[in-house]
Amino acid sequence: MAIAAPPIEIMLIEDNAADVRLTVEALKDARVANRLHVARDGVEAIRMLTEPDTAMPRPDLILLDLNLPRKDGRDVLKEIKQDEALRHIPVVILSTSQAEQDILHSYRLGANAFITKPVEIDQFFEAMRSLEQFWLTVAKLTRP
């Protein structure tokens, strides 16, 4: 259940409405209180991250789809990792791709984890749960 701490601010950058909702549903089952902020394309994502007057506080964790309209997920990742103010935020790639080169390329650009969008929903919920674990154990260290 919710730990006595402020909720985790999670940013989801994803264009597919069905996948957005699925992530929302998976996070509903989470044991850690969280708030989800959604950007539907790469340009919107960068704007939300860099313009201070948006409704979103600086996220603790970013979930990033690779194939996005307007600005590709790889470019979004590169920009985040090149920005002094943003580079410490853990970025988890969510992708349908299982191609080794996509995975390696993402890590090379500074991704902190790579989750292949699974075909089985139980796997997806499991992956989101392990993300929480990831947050509680590792990512917490980076939190100011």
Partner 1 sequence: MGSGRSHDAARGAETGPSPPSAPADRLFRLVVESSPNGVVMVDRRGTIVLVNRETERLFGYGRDELVGQSVEQLVPGRFRASHPATRQEFFANPQSRAMGAGRDLFGVHKDGTEIPVEIGLNPIDAEEGFFVLASVIDIRPRQQAEAELRRSNEELERFAYVVSHDLQEPLRTVSSYVQLLSRRYRDRLDTDAVDFIDFAVGGVRRMQHLIADLLLFSRVGTRGAPLVPTDMQAAFDNTLAGLHAALDESQATVTADPLPMVIADAGQLAQLLTNLLGNALKFRGTEAPRAHVGATRAGRTWTISVQDNGIGIAPEYFERIFVIFQRLHSREEYAGTGVGLAICKKIVERHGGRIWVDSTPGHGARFSFTLPAADGVS
SS3 at position 81: helix
Q: Count the residues of the shown chain that bind partner 1, applying the rule CB under 8 A.
A: 13
Dist CA 111 CA 102 (whole Å): 11
DSSP 62-115: EEEESS-SSS-HHHHHHHHHH-TTTTTS-EEEEES---HHHHHHHHHTT-SEEE
Among 5, 104, 121, 138, contact with partner 1 (rule: CB under 8 A): 121
Q: How many C-beta atoms surround the C-beta of residue 15 within 10 A?
A: 18
Residue 25 binds partner 1 (CB under 8 A):
yes
Residue 142 near residue 90 (C-beta atoms within 8 A)? yes
- CA contacts within 13 A on the Cβ side of 142: 16
**Among 15-23, 32-40, 56-64, 83-91, the segment contacting partner 1 (CB under 8 A):** 15-23
Provide, rounded to whole angstroms, the least separation between the CB of residue 78 and partner 1: 23
Instruction: Give me the residue label for tokens 């996005």.
Output: 68
User: For partner 1, what does the binding mask look like between residues 59 and 98, x meaning CB under 8 A?
Assistant: -------------------------------------x--
First to last CA, the chain: 23
Residue 9 binds partner 1 (CB under 8 A):
no
**Among 4-12, 36-44, 46-54, 112-120, the segment contacting partner 1 (CB under 8 A):** 112-120
**Among 49-57, 79-87, 103-111, 116-124, the segment contacting partner 1 (CB under 8 A):** 116-124
The residue ranges that bind partner 1 (CB under 8 A) are: 16, 18-19, 22, 25, 96, 117, 119-122, 124-125
